[in-house]
Structure formats: C-alpha cells, structure tokens
Amino acid sequence: MIKKGMKVKIMTGKDKKKEGEVIEIDRKNNRAKIKGINIVKRHVKTTKEKKGGIVSKENFIHISNLKNIGKDKKEEAKK
C-alpha cells in the first residue's frame, strides 16, 4: 500500500524510471501526486488575491504506475 511520504518509482509514462516522494493521495480514484513528477502547466486568471499567468504544478498519476522503493518518513523516524 502506498502512503503519503513514501518514496516511489514511476514505472510507465513520460516520467518513466524517475523517483519521487508521495505528496498527496486520492483513494477514491486510486491516484497519487508525486513531488516533481507529471508536471503540467495551468493558465491562471488574475484575481485580487493572486497574480495570473502560466503556473507549473504536479498532477495526479495512477497508483498502478508506481512502485514502492523506500520506507515512509514516519517509519524512519521511529527507528
């Protein structure tokens, strides 16, 4: 089972063979967001609070395309 904070390797897709840390998990759709992986560009409209422009951010990737390669931070902290 993949949890937040675990180190995973990408098995398929444009980021194949890259490694990263799980930031967020969407259990309902079986997807995970990995730090620095599956970067997409979003066009953001200017508002009173935020400046607009083109923003790069991580997008979700299906859990079946991930392989666990390390322990999560919580388990390492216990040792």
pLDDT tens readout for residues 11-64: 999 999 999 999 999 999 999 999 999 999 999 999 999 899 999 999 999 999
pLDDT band for 1, please (50, 70, 90 cuts). Answer: confident
CA–CA distance, 9 with 60 (Å, rounded to integer): 14
**How many Cβ atoms are within 10 Å of 8's Cβ, its own excluded?**
22
CATH number, domain containing residue 70:
2.30.30
- 2 inside domain: no
- 46 inside domain: yes
- 42 inside domain: yes
If one counts the domains in the chain, the total is 1
- 35 inside domain: yes
The yes-or-no verdict on residue 79 having pLDDT over 80 is no
The yes-or-no verdict on residue 71 having pLDDT over 80 is no
CA–CA distance, 6 with 23 (Å, rounded to integer): 9
Q: Which domain holds residue 46?
A: 7-78
CA–CA distance, 53 with 13 (Å, rounded to integer): 27
